[in-house]
Amino acid sequence: MPEPAPDRVRITDRLHVVAVLLDTKDWPGFAAALTEDVVAYGRTGPADVVARVRSHLDVCGATQHLLGNIRVDIDGDAARTRSYFRAFHVGLGDRAGATYECLGEYRDEWRREPSGWLLAGRVINVRAEIGDRGVIIAPLS
């Protein structure tokens, strides 16, 4: 039987899974990747975090969140990661043809739960923006 993957690999995999969940707009899957007391995207708790992310990603078309330069620091059942990201967003509806891209760093906290490593916190540091930010902002009704 193969040796289980080390925590560093599992955490890096979870980081990638979260990016895929955002890009596929799998909101139940994204909520399940969060701890019950998650603090991320300026919100607390899975329902509020998911609602905040949806407010930006449900109003745009395709997205792609690419990750790199991942650093992992593990302390027992807690871990921190820092990773660079490049997030590309395509306009939808009235903004079709427009794009918005941001570059920066995620500073994430992870906690080992019975179901595996879950995202417990995320701070985003955007370093550069390119394009039309309106792509990720809901139009006024």
Mean pLDDT per 10-residue segment, the chain (141 residues)? 80 98 98 98 98 97 98 97 98 95 98 97 98 90 60
pLDDT attached to residue 5: 73
pLDDT of residue 3: 64
Which residue is associated with the tokens 């039309």? 132
DSSP letter string over 88-123?
Answer: EEE--GGGTT-EEEEEEEEEEEEEEETTEEEEEEEE
pLDDT at position 39 is 98
Which helix (H) or strand (E) element contains residue 22? helix 7-23
Q: What is the pLDDT of residue 25?
A: 98
Say what the pTM is: 0.93
